Chains A and B, each alone.
Chain A
Amino acid sequence: MCDTCGCGQPDNFKVINLNDSETKQSYEHSHEHIHDGTSHSHTHTHSHSEDHSHEQAHQHNHEHGTQRVIQMQTDVLQKNNLSAERNRGYFEAKKIFSLNFVSSPGSGKTSLIEKTIKELNNEIKFFVIEGDQQTINDAKRIKAVGAPVVQINTGNGCHLDAEMVNRGIKELNPSDKSIVVIENVGNLICPSLFDLGESKRVVIISVTEGDDKPIKYPNMFQSSHLCIINKTDLLPYVDFNIEQTKKYALQVNHHLEFIELSVKTGQGIDHWYDWLKKQKNIL
């Protein structure tokens, strides 16, 4: 069954490598790959097992001789989390700094990545994984500014998962000490649940959106490390209160850092470059 809409079709996501002379497309059946690491399936087994154990025993104490209750206590996302940790280990071993960019559609993820590559390409080697439901448009934009890129089309999927990123990295083959940028599917809800193995998660919000986004979509702001407030050049024309947004976001996540910038005018973008270089040097 399809992993994304339950339509009964096999679940295919597409990994498209734009770096080969002939654009290669590979189709991935997610179910073939999520069985990795079964030997670790009990990592979390006993963490909360005492909570309701008596209730369980009574509920299931029927006289059927063969019926058995098995306490699983298994994290539903453990397979994704295991794949994410594999990615994280790969990045660490190669001293790669990796970013997971999340936002609603149209807040400027691709434009920011594009500009960053264009302006820092001489100092830092970038590799990009683009996630979109359909098309290779974003990957073409990244390729045009000179960074190796693979596009993952999730089909009906609303988020990237760690296994897709794992396949993407294998296609990309990023070099040591580089930065891998993963641009997630534009969606402020679903991607928050899926760890991809990134070093830092960056949420982008633009001033043309509502300033209460952080409390409307708390999961995303809670799981991010940095919040970029984009399109600040439009502030005179919109009713967006930056201080209010920050206040809301800090209620949800008091560790969150902020950078205000405009990709279009370049205003404030040096703060972003400084952050990026600082994070990379910490590795």
Chain B
Amino acid sequence: MHEISIALNIIDLIKEEAEKNSAASIQEFEVEVGSISGVEIEALKFALNIAVKDTLLENAIQIITPVAAAASCLECDKEFSLSWFYEPCPFCSAMNIQIIKGKELKIKSITID
């Protein structure tokens, strides 16, 4: 349900950046969403499609890139992928891990004219 707030934040930030660069139109934008960021990609796409209506972004191609979560083990220093928040290290079973990827929620780039 919070995805519409997220979509509107995305649109506002992109509009500001486009205006700053005197863009006539926005052709494309790319957003990265981490798998443990708390945002559902399908819900975000749905929200974006509604929220872009009547804005500079209406006809822009939307690229939503998922970012798979990864962690590094603070005991054995190895890196591994995470399917959800906290999992023990698959190499040494330690719970002492640090998330290094997967919490992203950011606008990567925009293509303007």
A positions within 8 Å CB-CB of B? 1-6, 31, 34-35, 38, 41, 44, 48, 52, 56, 60, 64, 66-80, 157-159, 161, 189-190, 192-194, 218-219, 222, 251-254
Contact = CB atoms under 8 A, between A and B. Distances in A.
B108 A52 contact: yes
Contact of A73 (B105, B106, B111): B106
B21 A70 contact: yes
Given A193-B38, A254-B95, A76 B108 contact: no
Given A4-B4, A190-B1, A76 B13 contact: yes
B86 A252 contact: yes
B62 to A, nearest CB: 14
Contacts, number: 124
Given A73-B109, A222-B86, 10 more contacts: A2-B4, A6-B50, A48-B106, A56-B108, A60-B111, A72-B14, A73-B108, A74-B106, A219-B85, A251-B86
Contacts of A68: 21, 111-113
9 contacts: A3-B4, A6-B7, A34-B12, A70-B110, A74-B106, A76-B105, A194-B2, A219-B38, A251-B95
Nearest to A223: B38
Closest 10 CB pairs of A and B: A190-B2, A218-B85, A6-B50, A158-B1, A219-B38, A72-B107, A76-B105, A74-B107, A6-B4, A193-B38
A76 B111 contact: no
B113 A67 contact: yes
Q: Chain A interface secondary structure, helix, strand, loop or mixed?
A: loop
B84 interface: yes
B47 A6 contact: yes
A219 to B, nearest CB: 5
Contacts of A192: 38
Given A41-B16, A189-B2, A69 B9 contact: no
A253 B17 CA distance: 36
B10 interface: yes
Interface of B: 1-2, 4-10, 12-14, 16-17, 21, 27-28, 31, 36-39, 47, 50-51, 53, 84-86, 95-96, 104-113
B51 A1 contact: yes
Contacts of B112: 67-68, 70
Contacts of A31: 12
Contact of B113 (A52, A64, A77, A78): A64
Contacts of A44: 106
Contacts of A222: 85-86
A3 B31 CA distance: 19
B2 A159 contact: yes
A77 B7 CA distance: 10
Nearest to B12: A34
Nearest to B9: A76
Nearest to B49: A6
A76 B6 contact: yes
A6 B6 CA distance: 11
B84 A218 contact: yes
B13 A72 contact: yes
Nearest to B16: A38
B5 A161 contact: yes
Nearest to A254: B95
Contacts of B1: 4, 158, 189-190
Nearest to B40: A189
B11 to A, nearest CB: 9
Q: Which of B47, B51, B108 neighbours the largest number of chain A CB atoms within 10 Å of its CB?
A: B108
A1 B38 contact: no
A110 to B, nearest CB: 22
A38 to B, nearest CB: 7
